[in-house]
Structure formats: C-alpha cells, structure tokens
Amino acid sequence: MIQPPSITDSHCHLDFPDFENKLDEIIARAQQAGVQRMVTICTRLRQEPNVRQIAETYAPVFYAAGTHPMNADKEPLVTVDELIVLAAHPKFVAIGETGLDYHYTLESAELQKQSLRIHIEAAQATKLPLIIHARGADADMTELLQSEYKNAPYACVMHCFSSSPELGKAALDLGFYLSMSGIATFPKSQEVRDIFASAPIDRILVETDAPYLAPPPYRGKRNEPAYSAFTAQVGADVFGVSLEEFAAQTEANFERLFWKAT
C-alpha cells in the first residue's frame, strides 16, 4: 500500500456537534489519508475547555482559540491578558479565529473591529500566529491589518481564503499566509484558484474548515480533516507540482508559521 504524503489540516472545528462521539474514527481516517496534524479552532471562549480537552486527548490535534467575528456581539469581549494566559498551554498554537464578517453580521462591525484589535495585540505579545476570518469586509480588513502591523509586526494566516485579489495581495505584502479550503476545489472558484496561483507557494496552507465546505467528491456532505487531502491535490494542480512536492511545501509552511505545533 502506498503511503500518502503527510499534510496538516490547519483549520477545523472538532468540537462541533457534527463530530460528537465520532472523534476516534474521524482522527483515524485523517491519519490514514496522510493528515498527520490538525488544528481545531475554538470560536467562543466559553467553549475553550472543551476544545482544549480534545487537543489534550489526541496527540495529532493542536488548538487555537478566539472570538469569531459573527459571535462578537454574543460573547463577552475578551481581553489581551485572557488570550495570553490561554496561549501558555503547550498545545495552544495560534490566536483566533477572529476577523471581520460584514456578510452576515454587519450590524456588529464596530464591535468586530474592537475584538480584532484585541486579538492582534495578543498575537503581537505572544508571537503566535493570528487566524483571520474575512468576509465582505475587504477594505476595512486591509486597513486594519496594515495599520496594526505598523504598530508592531505579527504573523497571520487568512483562513479559508476566498476574498478579493486586492486583500490577498495586501496580506501577502505583509508576509502573511493564505489558506486553501474546499472552496478552492469548487468548479466555479476559478478566480480563487487564480489568486492562489499568483501567490508564493511558500505562503500557502491547506485546511478543511470542517464540518463545512467539503471538497468534491464529498461536496454537500459533512466535511472532515481527511478530506484536506483532496484540497491538497487541487493545490498541487494549481501550482503545477506533484502532490508530494505540494504536501512537503505546505508542511514546511505550516511549521514555519505554527511554530509551536512541531
């Protein structure tokens, strides 16, 4: 049996109800598919203990925590100190996800910006990477990321990137990374693939955002970390390299950015 190349699902949500009582099999399938590491993301800090427990239970799983922008008006505003305390855990590898989402939650835009600035300050203080969710807010996102970077540098990944070429370029110009999800595999996502193709291959990550955005042949079904292998194959095609070369490059990229997960 040919061993698949090792890859990392840099963003999934293993604490969601879709995976309840199924994590043993989910993680086993991921490893069989070559997905040797997963980063599970906490989107509401009151759920951080549950997410932490998953990372503590399963050796291949690391975690991050923050307040998702769509939850910014539903959760207490986190403090920089709270995030710094969480970041001391050995399997806590990133700050977030945080960001701006004006597509669904424009009414909380100002609160989202306030929350994002707090998360950025925590990333600056801890030197951990920031995980950004951006939807329908490209101009504000660009301005805020750039202005805060001028205050103090920080590392960042634009998770599940499917925004404009302009935001992609702004992020890359700051030294940030773009993460390729199942969206990049959809037939109608040629513009997204073109953005990735124009980016440096040493600034690309792979993710599922599971349980969402399953790539073909599982589109429309529940996503899971194992399926990041399908996205990696599309990534290899986009860059015109072998799956093995793309996998090795994205692994090196992941370890450079998520330095605690090595």
Tell me how many domains the chain contains: 1
The domain in which residue 175 lies consists of 7-259
* pLDDT for the residue numbered 1: 62
In a domain, 2, yes or no: no
In a domain, 180, yes or no: yes
Q: What's phi and psi for 145, nearest 5 deg?
A: -60, -45
* pLDDT for the residue numbered 3: 87
In a domain, 225, yes or no: yes
In a domain, 94, yes or no: yes
Here the CATH number for the domain that contains residue 24 is 3.20.20.140
* pLDDT for the residue numbered 55: 98
Residues 106/129, Cβ–Cβ less than 8 Å: no
Q: What is the pLDDT of residues 51-74, one digit of tens each?
A: 999 999 999 999 999 999 999 999
CB count within 10 Å of CB 197 equals 14
* pLDDT for the residue numbered 2: 78
* pLDDT for the residue numbered 262: 85
Tokens describing residue 199: 């980016």
> For the chain, which ranges sit under pLDDT 70?
1
Kindly report the pTM of this predicted structure.
0.97
In a domain, 1, yes or no: no
